[in-house]
Structure 1
Amino acid sequence: MRGRRCHSTRHPDMSGTDSESEAESETMRCISCREEYGTRDAGTCKECYEEASETEEELKREIEDLKAKVAFLRFWSPLDHHHHHHSSRSHCGPCYTDVVLVAASESGPAGPAVPVPAHKAVLVSRSPVFKAMLDNEMEESRSGTIKISDVSYDALRAFVNYLYTAEACLDEQLACDLLELAEKYQVKHLKAYCEKFLVSKLNWDNSVVNYAFAHQHNAKQLLEAALSLITDNMDKLTKCEEYRELVEKDPRLVVEIYEAYLSKQVNTAALKDSPMKQ
């Protein structure tokens, strides 16, 4: 409402007996215009009320405009149609796609992995890694096939779909898979999206695993949240199987946990001492 607010002020009733007069003497003062208005005016002056209503309508129009722009700018995904889900056709077809991505780890005796169709223009606009790969005369650019290792078909499909729509239906495993891909291909928006989801699912049982995962993939928000949860429950830590595995696999992270815990203890003690010194 453009910074205009009101608060009540009460003028003393000289008679002290007339309740109606006392009610009339209670007023609202606009912080912006400094004018006083009676409480019977709905607690705000007419000018402020009209201005607030105009601002609300203006914001509603802006929101609708933004929604329309988002809908217009949203890329149509070649994965929207069911026949692409398990299609082994050439990627050149009605969708006008000009590149496919393949989950290399899914190729095996059963046959080649199912390709995920895409458009080079979309990949290049979303990822600086894809841009460098496709702008230069690399094998992927010449062959029209990008092989991606250590990823499932479902995760790769969700990744490509996100590049078109900025949408993903996440569970914890998919969020981890997509965060890895987002880190690898520098898709910052997707990484932040997955990280926020994982923070929302954080609990004691998965805190150590998420801490190690966040450390590995430079997910700072998840790392800080997991570390805070761990240091708040240090009495449980040594009983945790994930902790014992971490001691064997990456003792450096264990040292960091204890350093963070000691730092928190020192800060807590300092806060307790400061009122006493004053």
Structure 2
Amino acid sequence: MQRCRHHRVARQYSSESESESESSSTSVSVSSECQTETMITTTMKCLSCQASYESRDSGTCKECYEEANETEEDRKREIEDLKAKVAFLRFWSPFDPQHLSRPNGPCFTDVVLVASSDDGSSSGPPIPVPAHKAVLISRSPVFKAMLENEMEESRSGTIKIGDVSYDALRAFVNYMYTAEACLDEQMAYDLLVLAEKYQVKHLKAYCEKFLVSKLNWENSILSYAIAHQHNAKLMLDAALSVITDNMDKLTKREEYAELVEKDPRLIVEIYEAYLSKQVNTAAHKDSLMKS
């Protein structure tokens, strides 16, 4: 009897356990379904227009997504249009191969520029660089004044430019047509001088940025002197900063001795900048200590 009672209790307990397990499983299933339903029905707001959208959508509502795509396409078309306009406005250069190959030389050129050395040290006759007066006038106010008035260059159709190499002069004229220049440090220095002399501002800025990117301790003194001479403020400030950071090595440089002899006022300016920098540094440290 007692044994049968134990069997009944065991069966009852097992039945209750199975019932609880089924109930728990059903509860978990219902909870999972509720969570899924909640996730599906959860709405979010579009960052662009604040309209509501379902969480399964990605980041923005359909209307804003389509509008963004249209805007992107419009921007691409605008860029292509601008490129086409630039290509249309760009002058062909007298140095383009198709024009150089003509039997009579570049077509319709009406002026030549000649690189001449003031000391007459150049060997052989100078090579003329052909150009168009209209292009030179439109690019440089100096050429404009020279060619629109009854000056020798206007009458003869020849413009002599001193202290410049043929390669630099050719690159200078080519920039007038194409707004492009292939630079190394020497070419950048040469074109900077020409750009300053003939007031071609875009070329001057282009050369300055290139030279600043190449600036180091080895060329800083030369860069400083050239920048000072040709009003290149961006390069002047950058070179001066490099020099004042290396004042302990300044007097050992050959360029320093040359500068002392040729233009001592630049040396004075360097030391003034260095002292000013030291004062500012000391004041900054003092303010940090007080705070």
Which TM-score applies when normalising by structure 1? Answer: 0.82
The 1:135–1:274 alpha-carbon spacing in structure 2 relative to 1, beyond 3 Å, is same
Count, aligned residues? 258
Quote how far apart the aligned CAs of 1:25 are.
10
SS at the partner of 1:205?
A: coil
Distance (whole Å) between structure 1 residues aligned to residue 266 and residue 55 of structure 2 = 62
The 1:189–1:46 alpha-carbon spacing in structure 2 relative to 1, beyond 3 Å, is same
User: Counterpart of 1:269 in structure 2: which amino acid?
Assistant: A
Aligned match of 2:207: 194
Quote how far apart the aligned CAs of 1:210 are.
0.4
Within the alignment, does 1:101 sit opposite 2:117 as a pair? no
Distance (whole Å) between structure 2 residues aligned to residue 147 and residue 118 of structure 1 = 13
Within the alignment, does 1:123 sit opposite 2:123 as a pair? no
Of stretches 165-174 and 108-117 in structure 1, the one that deviates more from structure 2 is: 108-117
The CA deviation string for residues 159-216 of structure 1, in whole angstroms up to 9 with x for no partner, is 1111001111111111111110110000101111111111111111111110111001
Q: What is the RMSD computed on CA atoms of the aligned residues?
A: 3.0
Of stretches 168-177 and 107-116 in structure 1, the one that deviates more from structure 2 is: 107-116
The CA deviation string for residues 39-86 of structure 1, in whole angstroms up to 9 with x for no partner, is 64333343443333222222111111111111111111112238859x
The 1:232–1:41 alpha-carbon spacing in structure 2 relative to 1, beyond 3 Å, is farther
Summarize the alignment of residues 171-190 of structure 1 with structure 2, pairs less than 5 Å apart: 171-190=184-203
Query: Structure 1, unaligned stretches of length 5 or more?
Result: 1-14
The 1:147–1:202 alpha-carbon spacing in structure 2 relative to 1, beyond 3 Å, is same
Query: Structure 2, unaligned stretches of length 5 or more?
Result: 1-30
Alignment equivalent of 1:67, drawn from 63, 70, 83: 83
Alignment equivalent of 1:270, drawn from 271, 279, 283: 283
The 1:233–1:48 alpha-carbon spacing in structure 2 relative to 1, beyond 3 Å, is farther
Within the alignment, does 1:137 sit opposite 2:150 as a pair? yes
Aligned match of 1:163: 176
Name which one, 1 or 2, has greater alpha-carbon Rg.
2
SS at the partner of 1:61?
A: helix
SS at the partner of 2:252?
A: coil
Alignment equivalent of 1:229, drawn from 242, 254, 259: 242
Within the alignment, does 1:245 sit opposite 2:244 as a pair? no
SS at the partner of 2:180?
A: coil
The 1:59–1:260 alpha-carbon spacing in structure 2 relative to 1, beyond 3 Å, is same
Of stretches 257-266 and 164-173 in structure 1, the one that deviates more from structure 2 is: 257-266
